[in-house]
Structure 1
Amino acid sequence: MSSLNKAILEKGFVLSETYTVLLFIKKSNTAETYRAKGKDGNLYFLKLFYYGNLNRSAFDDQNNILETSFLKALRHENIVGYQDSGEIIIERKKYAFLILNFIAGEALADRITREPISTIYDLKGIAVDVLKGLSYLHNLEEPIIHNEITPQNIMLDMSTDIPQARLIDFGHARSFHQSSSSYNKTDLNLAYIAPECIMANAYSPQSDLFSVGAVMYHLLTGTPPWFKAVSKFQEDRSNAEDLLQKEREKPLLFPGKINEIIDFDESIIKIIKKALHPDLEFRFQSADEFMQALSGQIDVEDVDKIRVQKSEKSETEKKTLSTKPKGTGFDSIAGMSELKRLLTVDVINALKDPEKYKKYDVAFPNGILFYGPPRCGKTYFAKKFAEEVGYNYMYIKPSTLKSRYVNATQENIAKMFEEAEKNAPTIIFIDELNELLPNRDSDVHEMTKSAVNEMLAQMDRTGDKGIFIVGATNYPLMIDPAILGAGRLEKYFYIGPPDFELRKSLFEVYLKKKPLDFGIDYEKLAKMTENYVTGDIELLVNEAARFALTNNMRVTMDILEKTIKKQKPTVPLAELKKYEAMRRKFEGGDDDEKTNERTPIGFRR
């Protein structure tokens, strides 16, 4: 070993009079890893941190190393176990150390280099083990995002009859609610990280799920997805992000040799494509949903069709983004009476009668924000809001405006407002707002900051131009705070899972055109589906109808009940509690009465 790469600890070094160094394993910019033996006779991993090389983002508010803090609190069979930690001074320099339980096996990266995966059973087994660990992390009271799921950070424990995958290396892990300024991707392998992490420095549970899809693709094909771009990283690291994003615009290819893998079937391709979808809306919503797909409990739609539909839509949008919505507005939405009342008093009356507001010198509203868990109907409600107001309607996704080219995103934003003003009065609905307008105080690309600045400039006095902006997001705390205030998005409305009455109404709506047996108890169905989001109930009905179709029978109450028992909510209870906590923090209140309120959503028959 050269002096440049020489390990700090030599073989035989005794740490804290307890751990004897046996073997140097690897070295990074921030730490060294060793195999050590404890006084108890057991083997351990010893990780030695260089304090001077650690980024500020590696520490929590109490200046403790985040990786150590996280692992101290984690206990799960698919996550490496914590044993001990502390500090040590060597040659007048202070280091931190972390002792982890030894895993008798090898890294997944070493395994697939030595011997490729030969069966779909093995591939699914590894993926499910990783997803179990992620499900545990994502459903903690304060969810943790791993942020570095790669073959190098998945260890295969060979001490049991069936190898078990375990997650290691939490050096980039972050709390879900932690500022994205603490996300530093400079030394990450870009091949495995999600596009929103690259474009907006925004991480979420779905970012980890994207990485699992990338690992699965690697196991299946022998290379990471979009390998052409990945292989150029070393040649052109400075432009690696733009290069990868450009490559990811192309279809994901699967070589013919994968058909030779034992137990191969096309469903695994659909699952991987869904996991790697660039749009969070079409990606798996949770690790549990991902596992249900792998076990065959739910069918996965071919997202290539979605890509084609989106592409055709984009071509239309290039001609005009503005349309006149057709529909009955709020009359087609059951429930949500308090939300509709507030919107009517605070917003809709002003939009319909601006002269009256001017007469009383009341400030004209510029925009609002809908936020809450995924698949609860934010997009649908925004469209119904536009119908109720009677304005022209522009539906915008971040991908509609974002560009990898310098200044192009700003130009797209300016053109959007030009068209909105030309066709005024216009409602601009921007979905997944946090992706387009992340907090500029976070570690985001300068091009992204420029896009936020352009948006802020364009949003000034939009009401005077006949433009009203509606934003929607699952992650309101990640949006730049300057967007959320007077003169911009001034009011915030939480849209959560449907309540009892609305769940009952949803079942009536979705079952209305199905061939039904007698005796459907809608109240019982509603009671059985507490905490299920709107999209879940539609999925349940479709699954029950599919089973009835396969067996050439009517949809019965028994089929529906069995379907519900098999299908867990895609947004776990712990995740919903996280959103309630986010709601209190976002709206600046903590009283119990406010905490227990829920804005229901549903659809009239």
Structure 2
Amino acid sequence: MPETSPLIRSLRAAVEAAPADVPLRLHLAGLLLDAGQQADAVTEVAIALQQAPSDAEARALMVRAVGAAAPVEGSAPVETSTEPEGAATFNWGAAADQVKDVIPPRFVEEPLTEPLTTDGSGDPDGSPAWDVDAPGSVRLADVGGMREVKDRLEAAFLAPLRNPELRALYGKSLRGGLLLYGPPGCGKTFVARAVAGELGASFLSVSVNDVLDMWIGNSERNMHELFQTARRQAPCVVFLDELDALGGKRSRTQSAGMRNTVNQLLTELDGIDGGANEGVFVLAATNVPWDVDIALRRPGRFDRTLLVLPPDAPAREAILRYHLRERPIEKVDLGKLVKMTDGLSGADLAHLCETAAETALLDSVRTGVVRMIGMKDLVEAAKQTIPSTEPWFASARNVAMYANDGGMYDDLVAYLKKRRKL
């Protein structure tokens, strides 16, 4: 079978579209081997083995593709008790050397050679390494739609920063952070990165796993080191993801360590002195703001909230364009698709595009002819996609009705009434 056969070309395209599909890659490798393309077959099998090292079919195909390597001088004999038949005479070390320029190493980090310190961190001084991203190119203009979110950010956060003279004239304080809340998968992290881009500031994203530590006192130290890093990198946007996990209500917390971590966060937000947090802008995100400790919501801390809702029509169009931009599509009616996807989150829309691509890929594998992703694939995928935001709105409705103290969730109430969900 020549390399230019339609089936091999189709399988190559299918593998490129689904690089994690090991059986599909092995099928391509077998055809390449039958066509006399040994080097290409070895490459495909090596990638498959990187993803599934214990796959018996992949190992057997590698033996067939590379052949039994000559024993390496001074090497120990290969044990045969646990290997499949045919593997006893195969030198896997020699095979790895042969394909080392084709595939990257399976592990990026070198093995830990330093003994663990008493706090279990493996770092001689115990200090965490925070990855601070340089000022990015993402701006609010890159966020599709979401006009209300942008206007609120401009009024509460960005306009005072851009106009220091007017800020001084009106006595507008920049103390306090901004809390983004709403259903999952609606772009809260992307909005935070866009704010950092607008400010030309570094970006430091933090999750609960970055801070919490099993050793007593380490979580508080991690929290302090986080803010110290941000102060050294100022101007810097600190983004605390899942704030309810880092700053949950202390009255519901049984762990003294968690309560101390919340106390440390409160201390860092206030700053050691009046100018400690100059140039440090703190944003946070949560799906459940009603579970955040009330002390974090008082003025001077996270006293400004912003509801980030499922994308509106312009935002959905931008998201769909983004996820389809490098896929083979034809005759896609985005306007119709946007109308069909009302209520879907950004994550739902990404899943929709992935499902449509999967359908077209499987058809191409079955028929042996690569076809484009059409409107029919996208419509069927849209019908199968259930909005992942519905459970969130079900619980948020109760909060909006019975726990909207001081009008904290007025924007949520307005949205639910508009959608006739309240």
Common fold: TM-score over 0.5:
yes
1:597 and 1:339, CA in 2 relative to 1: closer, same or farther beyond 3 A? farther
Contact 2:313 2:342 in 1 (8 A): yes
Mapped to 2, the partners of 1:325 and 1:526 lie a distance apart of 32
1:363 and 1:575, CA in 2 relative to 1: closer, same or farther beyond 3 A? closer
Mapped to 2, the partners of 1:494 and 1:331 lie a distance apart of 19
1:355 positional shift = 5.0
Contact 2:145 2:312 in 1 (8 A): no
Q: How many residues align?
A: 289
1:318 positional shift = 4.0
Mapped to 2, the partners of 1:310 and 1:340 lie a distance apart of 40
Correspondence 1:435 to 2:241: no
Per the alignment, in what secondary structure is the counterpart of residue 470 of structure 1? strand
Q: Deviations over 1:548-568 (max 9, x none)?
A: 122221101111111222232
Contact 1:324 1:392 in 2 (8 A): yes
Mapped to 2, the partners of 1:344 and 1:575 lie a distance apart of 27
Radius of gyration: which is bigger? 2
Per the alignment, in what secondary structure is the counterpart of residue 322 of structure 1? coil
Mapped to 1, the partners of 2:412 and 2:187 lie a distance apart of 26
Contact 1:394 1:428 in 2 (8 A): yes
Aligned to 2:334: 522
1:370 positional shift = 0.5
1:591 and 1:328, CA in 2 relative to 1: closer, same or farther beyond 3 A? closer
Mapped to 1, the partners of 2:398 and 2:315 lie a distance apart of 23
Correspondence 1:388 to 2:198: yes
Per the alignment, in what secondary structure is the counterpart of residue 370 of structure 1? strand
1:403 and 1:582, CA in 2 relative to 1: closer, same or farther beyond 3 A? same
Relative to total residues, which structure has the larger strand share, 1 or 2? 1
1:468 positional shift = 1.3
| Structure 1 range deviating more: 454-463 or 386-395 | 454-463
Per the alignment, in what secondary structure is the counterpart of residue 239 of structure 2? strand
> Which of 175, 185, 189 does residue 379 from structure 1 map onto?
189
1:588 positional shift = 4.4
Aligned to 1:21: none
Question: Higher relative contact order at CA 8 Å, sep ≥6: structure 1 or structure 2?
Answer: 2
Structure 2: stretches of 5+ with no match in the other structure: 1-53, 55-106, 112-120, 365-370
1:336 positional shift = 1.4
Correspondence 1:350 to 2:168: no
Contact 2:136 2:202 in 1 (8 A): no
Matched-pair identity in % = 26
Per the alignment, in what secondary structure is the counterpart of residue 329 of structure 2? coil
Relative to total residues, which structure has the larger helix share, 1 or 2? 2
1:476 and 1:463, CA in 2 relative to 1: closer, same or farther beyond 3 A? farther
Q: Deviations over 1:182-214 (max 9, x none)?
A: xxxxxxxxxxxxxxxxxxxxxxxxxxxxxxxxx
Contact 2:400 2:412 in 1 (8 A): no
TM value normalised by structure 2: 0.62
Correspondence 1:548 to 2:366: no
1:581 positional shift = 4.6
Contact 1:365 1:463 in 2 (8 A): no
Structure 1 segment 427-466 matched on structure 2, within 5 A: 427-461=237-271, 464-466=277-279
Mapped to 2, the partners of 1:544 and 1:443 lie a distance apart of 44
Aligned to 1:494: 307
Contact 1:395 1:429 in 2 (8 A): yes
RMSD, matched Cα: 3.0
Aligned to 2:216: 406
Mapped to 2, the partners of 1:596 and 1:339 lie a distance apart of 18
Q: Deviations over 1:360-419 (max 9, x none)?
A: 322223210001111111111111111111112111111101101111111111111111
1:354 and 1:392, CA in 2 relative to 1: closer, same or farther beyond 3 A? farther
1:323 and 1:540, CA in 2 relative to 1: closer, same or farther beyond 3 A? same
1:401 and 1:345, CA in 2 relative to 1: closer, same or farther beyond 3 A? same
Mapped to 1, the partners of 2:286 and 2:153 lie a distance apart of 18
Mapped to 1, the partners of 2:316 and 2:326 lie a distance apart of 17
